[in-house]
Amino acid sequence: MTILMRLILLLVITFHSSLTIAQSEFSGTISAIPQSWQQKMIGHSWNPGCPVELNQLAYLKLSYWGYDQKPHIGILIVHKQVATEVVSIFKILYNHHFPIYEMKPYDIYPDGEYAKHNDTLGFYCRPAQDNPSEWSSHSYGIAIDINPLVNPYNDFMTKHAWPIEGSPYLNRDVPMMGMIQPGRIAFNAFTHYGWIWGGFWKKGTDYMHFRKEITNHYIVQHMIYRSNNINPQIPEHEL
């Protein structure tokens, strides 16, 4: 091989390596919801009378690490007040290669079907499951469901999983890809920023669910939350 050919080969390898590194870096952007997407939401994930207006929500484009062990870009809609810290949380998940199956807004699927598709999402307006006279935290844009198929909701009344396809994953003793476990990276990242995990709830254990606490009047900022005997440790360079 001539010196010229070796130089060309070295340049090609260097360029490819640089491109791979650039493609694998985390990306997180915050913007208003595009008008075209707002039209998809109206009458589906949002209706007049919902507790927040569309202009109070943020449209996040976030890198995530897929089940195929490759980087992807997903869309997450949350309240503007929590948008910046949600980007920080998903940067931690991405840098630790926590696998997310897919991340698309609620409006991609027919009502209620996102969970069986294992779709990670944030905002959608609906009544609370435990009290239909109140709004769920998703309705305020301050809740996120992570890999809901493998982190199902366990109805304490019926003892059935939601989605029903998630029934095998009520057994939390068998680790699965994308499963949330106390003391592991997804749990640590969210609780570090003051989000409560539904996996500790006695009445309706909700393994998919993280949320900021709300009242009728305000959103709690930077709430401190730690489970017993678990001290989440997030590397300093991840914060």
**pLDDT number for residue 14:** 42
What's the rounded Cα separation, in Å, for the pair 124 and 44? 8
Tell the burial category of 116 from Cβ atoms under 10 Å away from its Cβ (0-12, 13-18, 19+): middle
C-alpha to C-alpha distance for 99 and 180, rounded to whole angstroms: 10
Rounded to whole angstroms, the Cα distance separating 4 from 29 reads 42
% of the chain exceeding 70 in pLDDT: 79
- The pLDDT value recorded for residue 204 is 87
- pLDDT tens across 182-210, in order? 999 999 999 999 899 999 998 889 999 99
Amino acid letter, 116: K
pLDDT in tens, 101-147: 999 999 999 988 999 999 999 999 988 877 777 889 999 999 999 99
Residue-level pLDDT at 91:
98
| pLDDT value of position 9 | 47
Tokens (6 digits) for 9: 């080969």
Q: What is the mean pLDDT of residues 56-75?
A: 98
pLDDT exceeds 80 at position 16: no
DSSP states of 166-186: GGGGG-TTS--TT---TTSHH
Q: What is the pTM of this model?
A: 0.81
Domain range annotation of the chain = 25-234
